[in-house]
Structure formats: C-alpha cells, structure tokens
Structure 1
Amino acid sequence: MRSDISFTVSPGDRQRLRAIVADPMSPQKHVWRARIVLLSGEDLGTSAIMAATATSKTCVWRWQERFMHEGVDGLLRDRSRPPGKAPVPPERVAEIIRLTQAPPPHEATHWTLGAMAKVAGIAASTAQGIWKAHGLSPHRWRQFKLSNDPKFADKLTAIVGLYVDPPAHAVVLSVDETSQIQALDRTQPGLAHEEGPGRHDDPR
C-alpha cells in the first residue's frame, strides 16, 4: 500500500466484503472495490492487487484510501458530482422566443447571442441552446422571417415537439416548398392575373 495509507480489515468488514463479492446481484464496480480491500488485508502488494483485479495503481490507491476513511460503506458510495445547469423554465423560454420575434434594440439589423443574453439576462450559451431547440436563426437575417403571430411560441413548440417526440404509432409527414419557389419570397400577396393581348381563358 502507499506509505500514507494504513488500515486493518476487521472480521466484520471482511465478512461484508466477501458477501459483496459472492452476491451475483452486486454491481461489478462494488465487487472489484471489495476485492481490492480484501487483497490489501492479506498484505498483497500494489502490483499483485492490480494484476488480480485488472485495475490501475491509482485505482487501487483510491479505494484503499476510501476504505481507510469511510469503511465498507465508502466503497458502495460514489462521490457526488457537481449539479448541472438548472433547466430554463418554460415561461422564460417563451419570453426569449417573444423577444426574438421583436426588433432588436439600438437599431440593430438582427439579434445576436450577445445582445439576447444581455437583454434577457441569460448566458449566451443558454440563448443559443433555446434558439437551436426551436429552430430560430435571427442572425440569418437575409433568409430568416419572424412571425408576428402572438401565438407563435405555442405553435412553434407544438410543431417542434411533434418532430422530436411524436405520439405513439404516429406517422409525421413533412411537405417542403414547391420546387424553385421558396415561401421566404412570398412576403407580399401575389398580383392578380392579367390577360395579355391575344390571351383568352375561354376553354372554347
């Protein structure tokens, strides 16, 4: 063992450790942790324990040290990891979508991640994740169109949800724009058809 690690495996601990190894329902990570301590209690060296348990030197030392400080219970418990970012509340997401629909401040031509982060009080990475999840690309201002429908966020969420998590046994079909005609160009109503000279619509 490492020079700063020293412990004795008591008969009670040895019994618990052997039970963990013998139990077919024990997670494998618990089995080899228990074996490391059992072999350590038999005064085997680090190299021998590594070979017997197919683990690294640092792994052997880690679980020897854990047992020294926390006993058998410490072998069965993983260290807690720092919590991840809390999810953005749905009403906050809806507000960011609403802001994306509105003109950006300071007479800018389009929203940027930095501008949205500052106005909405969120991280730029969070704004990027919301835009990506909802298919929003306001920085592509030459092609991107924003609806002024007050229920745009609700409809967008419903459509995106249909693709991401469709109902059971459902078939989701997508119909693209007509070839050579993009809906992005249809920002103004079409002009009424006018007959030119010599043109007639009479089927006769």
Structure 2
Amino acid sequence: MLSPYVVRLSAEQRSELAGITRRATAAHRQVLRARIVLAAADGASNTEIARSLGIHADTARKWRKRFCRNGIDGLTDRARSGRPRVFAAEIVAEVKALACELPGEAEVPLTRWSCPELAREAVTRGIVDQVSASTVRRWLAADAIKPWQHRSWIFPRDPYFAEKAARALDLYARVWENEPLGEHDFVLSADEKPGVQARHRKYPSLAPAAGRPMRVESEYSRYGTLAYFAAYDVHRAHVIGRCEPTTGIEPFTRLTDQVMTQEPYASARRVFWIVDNGASHRNWAAAKRLNDAYPNAHMIHLPVHASWLNQVEIYFSAVQRKALTPDDFPDLDTLTTRLLAFQNRYNTAARPFDWTFTRSDLNNLLDRLGRHYPHTPQPLAA
C-alpha cells in the first residue's frame, strides 16, 4: 500500500541529507534517518526501505511521517520528560547542607561523612523516610561535594605573614623594595631535604612489561640517612646542592660557601637567599652570619609554616618522584651519587618554574581565610 506521506526534496534538502550520510562523525541514528528519507524521496515504499536498510517497516514509516510534517528538524529526537522526581528539591538541599557540616557539630562520633552515613543520618533526622547511599552520592556529585576527603593545612599565625610573604613574591617577580632587580642581582631559594634513606631491597626490582607495572620488593634493609641541601636559582633554573650526614648550621654554611665562592654569585651585586624557618638558618642570627661572611648576600625569611612559598620545595618534589621513588640504594655513597647525578641532569634541561602566585593572590587568600577565622593576618594595604 502506498504511503499517504509523499517525500519531495528540494536540492538544498537533498544535499544536506546526503552530507549527513557521508559524514564520518554523524551518529548512526541520524545517518539511518537520512537514508530513509532519501529512499522515500526516490519513490521507495516503506517495505522496500525496511528491506534494504535492515529495519522494521514501522521505523521507515515513522521517519517518513516526521519528515513530511517537520522537515529535516523532524529527524532529531524529541525532548523527553524523564522519570518524575522522587525527592523534592528541598530534601536534596538539606542533605547537601548536612554533608557540609562536621559530624562533631551534631555530636555524631565520626571524623568525616561517607555516603552511607549521610543516608543514615538523613533518615535519623527525619529529612527523608528512606534514601540510598548511591542516591546521596549522585546528589553530592552534582556540586562536587566530597565530605569523605580531607586535606591538611596550617593556619598562618604570624601577624606579619603578608609582609614577609610579599618580600619573597616580589623577588620572584624580580622586584625589591619597589625597584626592579638588575642584571647582577640573583634570587636563590634554599632549604634542606632531611632524612633521605638508603634502603636496599632484598630482591631485585622487576622491570615493567606488557600489561604489568614495575614490581618492587616490599622488604628492605636500612643503611642510614643523609640530608640533601640545595640552592635553586629562581630565574636561571639552576641548582647547586650537596649531601651531608645531617642537618644543622654548619652543613648549611658549607652550602652557602659552595654557592657564594663561585660565579656569578661571587661577584654579584646582590644575592637574595629565600629560606624558611628551619633550625639550620633560623632568625636574624643566620641572616647576620651570612651577610658577615658575604656582604652581597641577603637572607630573606619566609613566614613561619610557609615553606609552600619556597620554590626549592618544587625541585625537592621532583627529586623525590624522579630520583628516589621507589628507593633501592645499597649504601649512602650510591644514594649520594644518585642525588648529584640527578641534579646535573636537571640543570641541563630545566626551565624556571611558572610561578603565578602574586601579591594579589596573597591578599585574596588572606581575605578568604578572614571570612572564616577572625584572627587571620591582615592583607597588604592597596
């Protein structure tokens, strides 16, 4: 029987439908619908179209009818209403608010919420009669709320946090006391990595293979520890380091001697040493000791608990990931050789870190903290 829906295509419509059938990225359903309409326009019946395309005649009938009524726009899927909402928006919002509370505030003996615990607590509080953990997980995922995760941080207690941090940030930006640094000014970020262990695996590691990661024996023998001292030239991306048996003032002094007696630092106009408040280089006494030995060297202390502003820590992270993990060293000499060899390799290809944290970011951070904690150090004046 002939269909009452006769397909007639304009040249433009035929070209567009033919383009869909040839497009490699077109969805299969769109290609199929375009072929149905093209075949119908060529005079094929629904039965013939179904036979040639391997579909049911009702499918050919449906898309022929849709095209005749709505044109090419009729070949797209219609919006679907979906399953009716089971939980009211108010319930979802209350569960999300619960997830943003600390369990201790509600005298619940938990350190963190999990989805099953949130579902149980929501029922206990009468927020909802019944809800599954998977439903709660889906609600939280919509706003990226993950109360089962946590991260540690240290509150900035130094009342001069902003001023001290800003000095280092200015030096990273090649500015000192509102004046740009000159060609013969250098900025070094220095610290030590203590307790680097020489641990020797009891069986050799197995190299990776297809479908199998590298295998490392979990048992090991200990052969002592050492400290790795390093000074990182912020703008030249160059590291000068040494290994010492332990940390302390004398080992750190040997690092400063090693750096300040070689060029370009020996004849530099100024060399700024950015350090944290570790015992090897703490307070004004360490700054005076360095400046007395080398008048062109100036020690700049970061605020307490602000090692994250020390760029050498980024280098130490690379050392840990690329040179020390997984560790397998039979003695301290081998460990020392590895550290210094990595340092030399790093210097051949390193580029300055893309440091983007500025004075403005520092003020924004302190502003955010101030909204939660009234005793946060004040941001810098504009």
Q: TM-score, normalised by structure 1?
A: 0.46
Q: Which has the higher contact order (CA 8 A, sep 6+)?
A: 2
